[in-house]
Amino acid sequence: MIGSSPTEVGRFLEETEARLLELSIEAQQADWVYSTYINPDTEALSARTLARLIGVTVDLAKRSTRWNDAPITPVEARKLRLLRLSLPLIAPSDPSESTELTRLVATMEGKYARGRHVLRGSATELDLQELSHVLQESRDPARLTDAWTGWHSVGRSIRPDFERYVELANRGAREIGFPDMGAMWRSKYDMDPEAFSSEVERLWREVEPLYRSLHAYVRRRLVETYGPDHVDPRGPIPAHFLGNMWAQSWEGIFPILAPPEESLGFDLTRILVDRGTTPTDMVRYAESFFVSLGLDPLPPTFWERSMFVRPRDRDVVCHASAWDLDFADDLRIKMCIEITDEDFRVVHHELGHNYYQRAYAGQPYLFRDSAHDGFHEAVGDTIALSVTPEYLRKIGLLSTALPTGGDIPLLLYRALEKIAFLPFGLVVDRWRWEVFSGGITPAEYNDTWWAMRRTYQGIVPPAARDPEEFDPGAKFHVPANVPYMRYFLAAILQFQFHRALVRAMGSGEPLHRASIYGSKEAGEKLRAMLEMGQSREWPDALEAVTGERTMEARGLLEYFAPLQRWLDSENRKAPVGW
């Protein structure tokens, strides 16, 4: 206990929080301008402000080690622990390496945002959104391959930046005591990083049988559509047939997967388009759901400062995100909203982030984050699970009588979105963790990426890939340095939350039909958790909503139980596995 007193650590933390708040606001402002107006100057500015924030954080984290064995309060100890983990990127303290690293991340993100491809027989450059439409709508294998391959070539240009980024980020993480960046990412879960890996594996094993059943059903229907020359009835599924650039969610091809004799009974995209819904209307729908739970409407600045549509005159980062520029009330989303069923869900997802941010704004700076990052991702999705046909009828979007048939089409639709996602959610960081630890070398980047995708997801690329390609770089979160395991956790957690909130309302309805819309009880439970921020370990936050202290797949399995039975009977006609 070397010359430290509680007041000393208290003063240190107070100054630390004030300084980091100031620098984070600056970094966010620069990043906002960069992301909504990409050019060399905004790139340099945002990289420089981030480098400054990282530099100060590293310096403070190093100074904080003097209290490692000191008798300080649990709150102080938690803050000191979180200080080291407060950023998803740490740079080496050498100033030139530090700006080099933040420049690299900005450059990679910019390359991704500017990716374009001209389809064969056309003269127009298509961006990611347009190429995604092709993947969803075309049934021509050659055209699908062209759109898929065209987009994935963006990865190749990112590859050299990525290699150097891994090197520098690891060097940074080691300076503050982590073995590598992946280990740093895994340390953010209030548990031993290795125990966290096992926890993830345990959750995956619980849901894997459901994924395999869905995979088998989908593959059989794709064989019916494209024939066994294109889709091997016993093998992995070629990724370009699944209606999504990364084959991460498959609801885009619902029309060819729906049970032949039943339908959803409505098409939300059609309804929204026919009513002349605007992007702002889409966000208003989502806001009003949160308000129905007893939460406040968004502030006027949200509507003034957010970006809802892709500007026509410049490049922007279109990947949807939610921001809190002053860590208080300057909430915004940045999104290129399309009037679709998918984006209807995404706006709910994004507002979940904003409502979380606002709820924990009352906490000290180092506690202004979610219980763990899976919680942040799960909130809006939990709300979106309550966007049921009955809810849509209630708010006047569905006027037709609801189909009286079974619930299988709806459950299948949801499974194509949520269950198909699970192994993808797992694979992105299982791969990156290995890259950061050195278990995967640059020469092995692409082959290992596909080996893992084949093992976990049962998918393969449209044709053999040159090992020189860099297909992970064609997924936003890789060039943008956003950890991904959060989405896997969120995919499990949202059903755990949904189940608990539905039961708290006293509803005995099957989970897939229940909606928490308008429930003040559900709103109160949610609010209690959101307001905690990360002031407590995540099991405390989980308990506030669910009464449980471990992440459990039970909610998800209960939600999809009727579908699992239906798939089991469907799959008597087809092999399972790959």
List, by residue number, the catalytic residues: 319-320, 349-350, 353, 377, 477, 487
Q: Binds 348, which of Zn ion, ligand X8Z, none (CB < 5 to 8 A, cut-off by type)?
A: none
Binding mask 59-98 for ligand X8Z (x = CB under 6 A): ----------------------------------------
Q: Residue 3 class from Cβ within 10 Å (0-12 exposed, 13-18 middle, 19+ buried)?
A: exposed
Q: Binds 49, which of ligand X8Z, Zn ion, none (CB < 5 to 8 A, cut-off by type)?
A: none
When the beta carbons of 254 and 487 are compared against ligand X8Z, the nearer one is 487
Q: Binds 321, which of ligand X8Z, Zn ion, none (CB < 5 to 8 A, cut-off by type)?
A: ligand X8Z
Residue 504 CB, nearest approach to ligand X8Z (Å) = 26
When the beta carbons of 98 and 494 are compared against ligand X8Z, the nearer one is 494
When the beta carbons of 346 and 529 are compared against ligand X8Z, the nearer one is 346
Binding mask 481-510 for ligand X8Z (x = CB under 6 A): ------x-----------------------
321 contributes a contact to ligand X8Z by CB under 6 A: yes
When the beta carbons of 375 and 487 are compared against ligand X8Z, the nearer one is 487
Cα-based distances in Å from 396 to 275, 281, 339, 391, 393:
11, 13, 17, 9, 5
The number of residues making up the chain comes to 578
371 CB neighbour count, 10 Å cutoff: 28
Strands (E), 384-504: 459-460
Q: How far apart are CA 45 and CA 136, in angstroms?
A: 37
CB 519 within 8 A of CB 513: no
H helix intervals, 279-372: 279-292, 300-305, 341-359
- The beta-carbon contacts of 133-141 under 8 Å, at least 24 apart in sequence, are 135/240, 135/243, 135/244, 135/245, 135/252, 136/243, 136/244, 136/252, 136/253, 139/225, 139/226, 139/256, 141/226, 141/230, 141/240, 141/241
93 CB neighbour count, 10 Å cutoff: 16
- From the list 335, 361, 358, the residue with the least C-alpha distance to 348 is 335
Q: How far apart are CA 169 and CA 90, in angstroms?
A: 6
Q: Binds 378, which of ligand X8Z, Zn ion, none (CB < 5 to 8 A, cut-off by type)?
A: none
Binding mask 422-451 for ligand X8Z (x = CB under 6 A): ------------------------------
Q: Binds 146, which of Zn ion, ligand X8Z, none (CB < 5 to 8 A, cut-off by type)?
A: none
When the beta carbons of 263 and 269 are compared against ligand X8Z, the nearer one is 269
3-state secondary structure 190-239: CCCHHHHHHHHHHHHHHHHHHHHHHHHHHHHHHHHHHCCCCCCCCCCEEH
346 contributes a contact to ligand X8Z by CB under 6 A: yes
Helix (H) or strand (E) holding 331: strand 331-334
Residue number, nearest CB to ligand X8Z:
320
Binding mask 372-391 for Zn ion (x = CB under 5 A): -----x--------------
Binding mask 348-377 for Zn ion (x = CB under 5 A): -----------------------------x
Residue 553 CB, nearest approach to ligand X8Z (Å) = 18
Residue at 386: amino acid letter: S
479 CB neighbour count, 10 Å cutoff: 29
When the beta carbons of 425 and 533 are compared against ligand X8Z, the nearer one is 425
**Who contacts 572 (Cβ-Cβ below 8 Å, separation ≥6)?**
none
- Determine the angle formed by the axes of helices 408-418 and 561-570, rounding to 10 degrees: 100
When the beta carbons of 79 and 498 are compared against ligand X8Z, the nearer one is 498
Residue 143 CB, nearest approach to Zn ion (Å) = 31
CB 404 within 8 A of CB 562: no
Q: Binds 170, which of Zn ion, ligand X8Z, none (CB < 5 to 8 A, cut-off by type)?
A: none
Residue 119 φ/ψ, nearest 5 degrees: -70, 150
Binding mask 506-525 for Zn ion (x = CB under 5 A): --------------------
Binding mask 245-284 for ligand X8Z (x = CB under 6 A): ----------------------------------------
Residue 381 CB, nearest approach to Zn ion (Å) = 8
370 contributes a contact to ligand X8Z by CB under 6 A: no
Cross-strand bridge partners of residue 322: 333
410 CB neighbour count, 10 Å cutoff: 21
When the beta carbons of 221 and 486 are compared against ligand X8Z, the nearer one is 486
Residue 416 CB, nearest approach to ligand X8Z (Å) = 14
Q: Binds 346, which of Zn ion, ligand X8Z, none (CB < 5 to 8 A, cut-off by type)?
A: ligand X8Z
Q: Binds 365, which of ligand X8Z, Zn ion, none (CB < 5 to 8 A, cut-off by type)?
A: none
When the beta carbons of 186 and 486 are compared against Zn ion, the nearer one is 486
CB 292 within 8 A of CB 515: no
Q: Binds 320, which of ligand X8Z, Zn ion, none (CB < 5 to 8 A, cut-off by type)?
A: ligand X8Z
Residue 479 CB, nearest approach to ligand X8Z (Å) = 13
Q: Binds 487, which of Zn ion, ligand X8Z, none (CB < 5 to 8 A, cut-off by type)?
A: ligand X8Z
DSSP 475: S
Residue 578 CB, nearest approach to ligand X8Z (Å) = 23
When the beta carbons of 180 and 429 are compared against ligand X8Z, the nearer one is 429
DSSP codes, 499-511: HHHHHHTT--S-T
Footprint (CB under 6 A) of ligand X8Z, residues 94-133: none
DSSP helix/strand/coil, 451: helix
Residue 355 CB, nearest approach to Zn ion (Å) = 12
Number of residues lying near ligand X8Z (CB under 6 A):
5
- The contact set with Zn ion (CB under 5 A) reads 377
- The contact set with ligand X8Z (CB under 6 A) reads 320-321, 346, 349, 487
